[in-house]
Chains A and B, each alone.
Chain A
Amino acid sequence: MDQQSSDAVLDVDIVDDSDGLDTVGAALRQYALRGVFSDYRMERRKNGVAEYNFGWLYGQPFTLTADLKQRRLVLVDLLPAVARDSMMHKELRAFLKGRAAAEVPEHRRVDPQRATAAARLRDGVVSLELALAGDQQHDYDYGARKIINLAHELFLFMNEYWADYMWENFRLNME
């Protein structure tokens, strides 16, 4: 198992003519190869946009989109049933803003020189957006890893302070 695992992690191809969408795909694929994601798929669309689908936390399907023109990554429809300007909505925004604070350890911080995180609310559903400052491949690699880690931390925050919401909306066990 150990050898297979380490080989699998190395089995990621980034060809010379790849773009930011491939870089995002390569980063996400590593999570899949390490067993963090399940059922990983990438689909290129028109105009520099790609959609990535995978299973992750709590057995839920996740969709991430990457847009080269907008230099933007979005985890689509992450949190349902959030009322605009509700206490939860305000805390979500404050949490994401706080992740860019100087006192957050560098490996956890959303570096404001490189990206800006936001909770986009539409029709009562929050999507997590990461706007990138740069458009180089390393920017997309940073963005892909950062948005996944940020989503993980967002769910930690929700489990800590909105446990009942998580039970009701993600079918988590009350214990």
Chain B
Amino acid sequence: MNNNDDLPSGAASVEPSAEPRQSRRSFLKASGLLAASGAAGAAALSQSAAAATAKESAGQLHLPEQFAIAATTPPDVPKLPMNGATLFAKACKAEGLAALFCCPGNYTVTHAMAAIGIPVYTGRDERSMSHAADAFTRVTGEVSATSGTEGPGFTNLISGLANARAARTPVLFLSSNKSVREEDTEAAIQLIEQQSVAASMVKWQKRLVNPHRNHEYAGYAFRQLKTGVPSPVHLDFTAEAGDGKLSKPGDIVYNFDKSLYRTDAKPNPSPAHIAKAIALLQSAKRPIIVSSTGVFYSKAWDALRQFAEKTQIPVVESGAMRGQFPDDHPLSATCAPNALASADVVMLIGQYCMPNIGEYAFGPDAHYIRIDPAAEDIGRNIPIEVGIVSDEKAALEVLLRDAPAMRHDDWVAEVAAARKAFEAENDAIYKQVLGYKDAVHPAVIAKELADFLYRGAIPKEQTLIGSGGFGIARYTRRWLRAYRPAQIMNGQYQFGTVGADVGYAVGAGVAVKEGIGAQAAYKGHPTITIMGDASFGYSGMEIETLAKLRIPAIIIVYNNNAWGTWYLQDDEPRIVPMHLFQENIRYDKMAEALGGHGIYVTKPEEFTPALKKAWKTAVDTGMPTVINVQGKKEYWQREKFPPGFLGKVEPGVTSYYH
């Protein structure tokens, strides 16, 4: 089948759109917005923008009328003649590309995507938009895209690309890149060779030079994005590829439907290796399953749960998102960190970012099984005794079918006791820090946020949390819980970039607002993202994006007037100022100036009321709030303010959320 069949009849027509667009004046007249010009606004170019107009009066700043017009303007139906960018956008839409996060630039491509009806969200900085795309995909499981213009837009994307690579997020990175004609000339501005810069961070990349092949290379990109171990793909568009005209069906090379250029088939495990794995699990006294990123992307959570219950093997989560195995399940070891060193057989499923010896809490006597779609990665870093090459869901379904029922009563009881001890330790920490009155300790934020989300009127599985920050995360991860897939997004997983968090809030906020993928059942609810003041300093301008898009996000900034690194230098008088900010910066005021709401919290007893107020604002108005929580940098000093700076509680001891 040739995909030219998808083209509307009269493909050689010069009509740019199947239906005539409304003029701005006619739309305004029909919608009544002219009479309500002071309350104009909608939710950007999103599918729910029209619905959001009902809440627009809550916005503190004027939203241009063009947003509402765009929301009700039907998308173009591409017809020949078209340019190469439109052909590429058409292929992306056919693949179900869920969202594009970008700033203006790479115009032919991003404009074509907007015109064709792919949801496009624009922000203030390409870096933050790349983090938004990363977060969106990590919490939905759906491929998204991000884009930057020419040289500077592309270089701004690099931090997001590196983060997405570390987290193994299938994001399509797009950039424009001048023209073939100008290569190596330093003509005009913004020329940079992009492929070598991105090479170490992508699963696949291509510089597109020929518009006739854009559909074909979209197929290359989506084959990579939707199969195997997920990771980002980068395409850079020359002017020739984006602007080049296509006049007749024969101008489009390899224009097949996606069912003809990629397969939904997944690698299945070999029976011999499944038998070995089952034998090793049967020989174990204290087996454990590590459920990681691949379990989410393969949607293997039901199979995982059934297998764990049949074999009575506890499960601990790691990875770029959490909740695939609920924390309140009797077999969950995620909140039992002190039990992990007891495990004698560890079955790693979808653990793409592999710890090294010593980076796991599992002890030296542990034997490892690893299930991974990529044979070439099995055995890297951690020596394994059984390696299973398979899609995670396929492997778990076969294990569920073939493994006999098992019992590990003593081990399950040990895990339960460790969970109880962990909760008791957390309670003791909270009581300890209540004695610190002159600023808010991070344990107060963590404990009271957990009480609000999981032990109040809100269904405990409802709220998506973006867990970021450096010092603050040492506490929040002790109290945050996940009860359904992708309820927690683990911030700067593994790459550790500071400054991604507000961008993450944009992407995760869009995902929940629109109810995409794994967030479908929680559509429209508020989200919460936690970060430090250092991070907010990089990306705080994206509060304007949250406000513009009418995203009911609550941003908790732990403001301790310093980079998280300061206390390692506190005995170095000439060095320590390098790690400090001006004190008591009003990030809440900054939020108000950008169209959001702000609350400043300076005492422990003010935190929960502020959280309730922000929540009500989010529900009632659909607008974001920054809760600027005034902390104290000295809280990291253990001798002065125990328990000080804490370590981690995940299976990965020394690496971020391993």
Contact = CB atoms under 8 A, between A and B. Distances in A.
Nearest to B656: A175
Nearest to B654: A172
A107 B342 contact: yes
Contacts of B638: 87, 161-162
Contacts of A58: 358, 654
B105 interface: no
A41 interface: no
A57 B358 contact: yes
A1 B654 contact: no
Interface string B350-391: 000000011001011101000000000001000111110000
A34 B383 contact: yes
Contact of A148 (B364, B385, B496): B364
A172 B564 CA distance: 16
Contacts of A160: 646-649, 653
A2 B385 contact: yes
B381 to A, nearest CB: 10
A57 B492 CA distance: 25
Interface string A139-175: 0000001001100110110011111101110001111
B414 interface: yes
A97 B48 CA distance: 61
Contacts of A5: 383-385
A164 B470 CA distance: 13
B387 A1 contact: yes
A92 B286 CA distance: 27
B364 A163 contact: no
Q: Chain B binding site: helix, strand, loop or mixed by DSSP?
A: loop
A2 B369 CA distance: 10
Q: Which range contains the number of B residues in contact with the other chain?
A: 35 or more
B341 A36 contact: no
Most buried by B among A2, A166, A175: A175
B643 interface: yes
B363 A149 contact: yes
B655 interface: yes
B276 interface: yes
A155 B568 contact: no
A173 B383 contact: no
B358 A163 contact: no
A167 B496 CA distance: 15
A61 interface: no
A112 interface: no
Contact of B654 (A34, A107, A161, A166): A166
B387 A2 contact: yes
B358 A155 contact: yes
B645 interface: yes
A36 B387 CA distance: 17
A161 B649 CA distance: 11
A35 B383 contact: yes
Contacts of B568: 164, 167-168
B385 A153 contact: no
A56 interface: yes
Interface in B602-658: 638-639, 643, 645-649, 653-656
Contacts of B286: 107
A95 interface: no
B490 to A, nearest CB: 12
Contacts of B654: 58, 159, 166, 172-173
Given A36-B364, A108-B342, A156-B341, 19 more contacts: A1-B387, A2-B385, A5-B383, A5-B384, A6-B385, A31-B364, A35-B357, A35-B383, A57-B357, A105-B414, A107-B342, A149-B364, A152-B341, A155-B653, A159-B653, A161-B643, A161-B647, A163-B648, A175-B470
13 contacts: A2-B386, A56-B364, A57-B357, A58-B654, A152-B363, A153-B341, A156-B653, A160-B646, A160-B653, A161-B646, A163-B646, A175-B496, A175-B655
CB-based closest 8 A-B pairs: A35-B383, A57-B358, A160-B647, A175-B496, A175-B656, A163-B647, A159-B647, A159-B653
